[in-house]
Amino acid sequence: MQNKWWHGKVAYQIYPKSFCDSNGDGVGDLQGIISKLDYLKALGIDILWLSPIYPSPFVDQGYDISNYVDIDPSFGTLQDFDELLAKAKERGIDIVMDLVVNHCSSEHEWFKKACADLNSEEAGYFYFIKGKDGKVPNNLRSYFGGSVWTKIPGHENEDIYYSHYFAKEQPDLNWYNPKLREQVFKLVNFWIDRGVKGFRVDAILSIVKDLSFPDLPADDTDGMCHAAKMNARNLGDIGKFLNELKAKTFTPADSFTVGEVLTVTPDSVKEFAGPDGYFSTLFDLSCRELVESHPHYRMFPTVTPDDFVKCVFDTQDLYQKVDAFVAPIIENHDEPRGVSYYLPEYLQNEHGAKTIATVLMFLRGIPFIYQGQEIGMTNTKFESIDEFNDLYAKDEYRDMIEHGFTEEQAVACCARHGRDNARTPMLWDDSPNAGFTTGKPWLRVHQDYKTLNVKSQFGVPGSTFSYYQDLIKLRKAPEYAQTMTYGTFARVNIGSGVQAYTRTALDQSQKILVIANTNQEELRYSLGDLKTANTKVLISANDAKLDADGTVVLGCGGAIVLAL
Ligand code: NOJ
């Protein structure tokens, strides 16, 4: 594998609206992020991905962009952004922007011009499609509920619709139009020229459409089919579009890019993230897929630690086989907190946070940490639907009530699966609003902020934060860096509830063993012949230890990393 500047790095995702508010308006901002750069540096991260900070009506929290080449005033200005870039760089941190170009906002001037004149150039940037038999063009259901088709504003009496795989305020951009593609390349280069080192590429499979707009077999009683199934069916021209994007933007700038791609296959992994892939890497979203392959929250299965680890390890095998780099994650802004979602109740705490962190941090690929994960944030106790902000959760709540669930059941289900779990404010200290803002936070604060916060953990040996620092340090330690970055991955089957794997240096000179126990019962595992005179513990959590006779002893949540 050819060495790349981003190999061996650790990345961190910031959800700007909820990270740190510098001006008391209840919304995080760029100056807030700047004020926390030393904190991020101390954690040990190298790459910072910012969820969208562009001007937006925030129907989908910034994933509905109304101007691609500016900063939303609630976050600051382009000058603030330049300051962030420069100050991050001083600390050895590179900034990665969110690239949301499957759709824009219905408030973007392109869409406004398009609706005002259906023969304008901008009209060609969207899918304006005639209905079929007096109905919408096909039966796809959008990600946030309802049809992907809506009548064009100002043309409600005509039989013509625009496509939106997400909210109706997020009209899909027509990548089959070369003029639209040129617009996209231009905006990407705008940020590259400013100093951005890469992009996280949103919902990118959705840019391919079957232009005959067929119906798909219904997946629920509403007669509709989830739009994601259309993407899974056929990737059509995606190679043409993404190779062009890469050649005209990422390649000349040597950008680091990470794609949001669900439903991968060995072929698509190679195509997307192999040595000549469209992107540097893809997120491991396999656990999400396990859940989201079901159309509604009410159908989402519970993911056990074994399901979780199977997804993660299958992904490792898949990427390794095609020489591709994956970006392992535990959570992001679209998911509940990993500790609450993937672990049994008795580990939904600081112990579990360390257990799962140990499994994540030594996988092959470039790990991404999501804000708050490093202090072990768990799900927030939402008690009423009014406490949610996310349009997705609100639609699922409506769906559950319509299907006869009680209000209490619907709220509990949204609280379990909802994206707002990850979006509640970052917990900095035990002062009102957890030190996130001096104003009224835009989303409620986590119930445990008095005890669960950065201040109570920073510099405190044994805290989750300190443990994350140590994990990152170990991952990047010069004597292990080659193995951690390029070494082969192999799973070790010890038993249900136990997550174990090795990483072996390509020249076989070094082997690392990672074991974590999510069972309540103690695990005693004899290393047998694997133990050598040089075997040593590199890091451990929750009292895990290696006995002199070569037995690894892991209590509930115990996790250990050994050099064999
Ligand atoms: C994926 C993003 O992560 C999510 O937050 C957003 O709602 C959709 N794409 C649409 O942009």
Helix axes 464-476, 350-361, angle to 10 degrees: 10
Please name the residues in contact with 453: beta carbons below 8 A apart, sequence gap of 6 or more: 375, 427, 428, 429, 430, 434, 435
- Beta-ladder partners of 283: 327
> Ligand 1 pocket by C-beta < 6 Å: which residues?
60, 63, 100, 166, 202-203, 260, 333-334
Measured CA to CA, the distance from residue 166 to residue 49 in angstroms comes to: 22
Instruction: For a ligand 1 pocket test, name from 56, 166, 169, 420 the mutation site with the most ligand atoms within 8 angstroms of its C-beta.
Output: 166
Least confident of 189-198, 200-209, 235-244, 329-338: 235-244
Specify the residue with its C-alpha closest to ligand 1, atom 4.
Answer: 334
Residue 207 is given by DSSP the state: G
Total residue count of the chain as it appears in this document: 564
CA 62 to chain centre: 15
For the entire predicted model, the pTM comes to 0.96
Q: Are 229 and 128 in contact (CB under 8 A)?
A: no
Specify the residue with its C-alpha closest to ligand 1, atom 10.
Answer: 63
Active site residue 383: no
What number does the ligand 1 atom closest to the CA of 64 have? 11
Measured CA to CA, the distance from residue 427 to residue 417 in angstroms comes to: 21
Specify the residue with its C-alpha closest to ligand 1, atom 5.
Answer: 334
- For the stretch 333-359, pLDDT in tens is 999 999 999 999 999 999 999 999 999
- The residue annotated as part of the active site, out of 98, 260, 387, 420, is 260
- For the stretch 2-55, pLDDT in tens is 889 999 999 999 999 999 999 999 999 999 999 999 999 999 999 999 999 999
Q: Give the pLDDT score at 267.
A: 87
H helix or E strand, kind and range, residue 327:
strand 326-327
Instruction: For a ligand 1 pocket test, name from 53, 99, 202 the mutation site with the most ligand atoms within 8 angstroms of its C-beta.
Output: 202
- For the stretch 73-132, pLDDT in tens is 999 999 999 999 999 999 999 999 999 999 999 999 999 999 999 999 999 999 999 999
For the chain, give the mean pLDDT.
Answer: 96
Mean pLDDT of 198-212: 95
Specify the residue with its C-alpha closest to ligand 1, atom 2.
Answer: 202
3-state DSSP assignment of residue 485: helix
- The residue annotated as part of the active site, out of 60, 80, 98, 202, is 202
Measured CA to CA, the distance from residue 107 to residue 70 in angstroms comes to: 14
Measured CA to CA, the distance from residue 457 to residue 41 in angstroms comes to: 16
Q: Give the pLDDT score at 234.
A: 66
Mean pLDDT of 211-219: 93
Q: What is the whole-number distance in angstroms between the Cα of residue 202 and the centre of ligand 1? A: 6
- Residue 471 has φ and ψ, to the nearest 5°, of -60, -45
Burial of 46 (0-12, 13-18, 19+ CB in 10 A): buried
Q: Are 172 and 127 in contact (CB under 8 A)?
A: yes
What number does the ligand 1 atom closest to the CA of 102 have? 11
What number does the ligand 1 atom closest to the CA of 144 have? 7
Q: Is 540 a residue whose pLDDT tops 90?
A: yes
Please name the residues in contact with 147: beta carbons below 8 A apart, sequence gap of 6 or more: 136, 139, 140, 141, 224
Classify the C-alpha dihedral 445-447-449-453 as positive or negative: negative
Instruction: For a ligand 1 pocket test, name from 50, 56, 60 the mutation site with the most ligand atoms within 8 angstroms of its C-beta.
Output: 60
Q: What is the whole-number distance in angstroms between the Cα of residue 525 and the centre of ligand 1? A: 42
What number does the ligand 1 atom closest to the CA of 63 have? 11
Mean pLDDT of 235-258: 94
Instruction: For a ligand 1 pocket test, name from 58, 172, 332, 334 the mutation site with the most ligand atoms within 8 angstroms of its C-beta.
Output: 334
Q: What is the whole-number distance in angstroms between the Cα of residue 123 and the centre of ligand 1? A: 24
Measured CA to CA, the distance from residue 196 to residue 467 in angstroms comes to: 30
- Beta-ladder partners of 559: 516, 541
- Beta-ladder partners of 453: none
Measured CA to CA, the distance from residue 50 to residue 345 in angstroms comes to: 31
Measured CA to CA, the distance from residue 299 to residue 224 in angstroms comes to: 16
Mean pLDDT of 208-213: 92
For residues 241, 243, 247, 251, the Cα torsion angle rounded to the nearest 10 degrees is: 130
Active site residue 172: no
Q: Give the pLDDT score at 214.
A: 94
Measured CA to CA, the distance from residue 333 to residue 418 in angstroms comes to: 10
Burial of 133 (0-12, 13-18, 19+ CB in 10 A): exposed
The confidence band for 229, taking pLDDT boundaries of 50, 70 and 90, is confident
- Through-space distance between the first and last CA atoms of the chain, rounded to whole angstroms: 25
Q: Give the max Cα distance, the chain.
A: 80
Strand runs labelled E in 394-506: 488-491, 498-504
Whose CA is closest to 418, among 328, 300, 283?
A: 300
Q: What is the whole-number distance in angstroms between the Cα of residue 63 and the centre of ligand 1? A: 6
Q: Which amino acid is at 171?
A: P
What number does the ligand 1 atom closest to the CA of 203 have? 9
Measured CA to CA, the distance from residue 177 to residue 455 in angstroms comes to: 51
Q: Give the pLDDT score at 232.
A: 64
Q: What is the whole-number distance in angstroms between the Cα of residue 259 and the centre of ligand 1? A: 12
Whose CA is closest to 17, among 1, 32, 37?
A: 32
Classify the C-alpha dihedral 228-233-235-237 as positive or negative: negative
Mean pLDDT of 393-410: 96
- For the stretch 462-471, pLDDT in tens is 999 999 999 9
Specify the residue with its C-alpha closest to ligand 1, atom 9.
Answer: 203
Measured CA to CA, the distance from residue 467 to residue 459 in angstroms comes to: 10
Q: What is the whole-number distance in angstroms between the Cα of residue 64 and the centre of ligand 1? A: 9
Residue 68 is given by DSSP the state: T
Specify the residue with its C-alpha closest to ligand 1, atom 6.
Answer: 63
Give the side-chain half-sphere CA count within 13 A for 402. 9
- Beta-ladder partners of 89: none
